[in-house]
Amino acid sequence: MHWRSLSKRHLVRPDCARAGVRLCGSLVLLGVGGLGCVGLGSHQEVVGERDALVERLQLLEASNASLSAERVSLLESLEDIREERTALDRNVQQLHKQEAELTSSLLARETELTRQNVEVVRLRDTYKALVEDLESELAAGQIAIQELREGLQVHIADEILFASGSARLGTQGAQILLKVAGQLAKLPHAIEVAGHTDNLPITGVLARRYPSNWELAGARAASVVRLFERAGVDPSRLVVVSHASTRPIASNDTPEDRSRNRRIEIHLKPNPSAPATGPAGSSQGQETPAGGS
């Protein structure tokens, strides 16, 4: 009796139980649905932040690549500047070297110019002295004295120095040459004595001693040089040259012209640095040692 009343009082009816289950299911679904909406929003925010970070990272990487390229360009420019500076330093050193060389050359040229000016004055004084000492011979046309750019030149006719076909100095010729030697001894110049002949060949007995005009012209020039040496001229300054008939100053068609071609020429050439030798290329003929005949 009591059990039945309890059953009636406390037991739930089946239809009520089913309605409760449905209500609980609905509540559960609502709860799950609410939880699902909250998770989706958070995920989207994370994804958005991630995308923003990726985009920012890409921008930073691009900026870093640009800065790296700019750095490389700057380093290359710096290297170019260093190379240019090194080249400029070399150029400056080269210019300093050239300046020193030019300065040295200029000083040498000025020294040489001063020396040449002194030589010009001395040669001019010698020229004047020779003109005074040989005034009568100059007036007679037996001697000619010429001022040259490189020195002096004295022409002496063979006829006042040597007998016909001979290389021995006559008395008159020796006196004239002693006057010349007195002036030449005062100078440091190289003295070239050149013998010249006409174009007539050597014949007869004379040909035994002088087979050609080369030997005759050289022997006559050597006789002049020996006299200069005896008169006190430094022998290291003396050079003998034979031109034979290769340098005529007149035609050889007449006796008068042939007489003009037979001559002794004395050349004074400034050469104080090497007075023992004549200037290179000064002779195109045969050279004979000062002691030869």
Q: Note the pLDDT of residue 215.
A: 96
pLDDT at 2 over 60: no
Residue indicated by tokens 């006190």: 232
Residue-averaged pLDDT of the chain? 80
Residue 224: name the closest of 241, 210, 244 by CA. 241
The per-residue pLDDT for 142 is 84
Q: How confident is the model at residue 211 (pLDDT cuts 50, 70, 90)?
A: very high
Higher pLDDT pick, 21 / 242:
242
* Residue 134 burial by Cβ neighbours in a 10 Å radius (0-12, 13-18, 19+): buried
Q: Across residues 66-81, what is the average pLDDT?
A: 90
pLDDT for position 177: 94
Provide, rounded to the nearest whole percent, the portion of the chain with pLDDT above 90: 43
Residue with tokens 């990487």: 61
What's the rounded mean pLDDT across residues 226-243?
95
Q: What is the model's pLDDT at position 15? A: 53
* Mean pLDDT computed over 79-83: 90
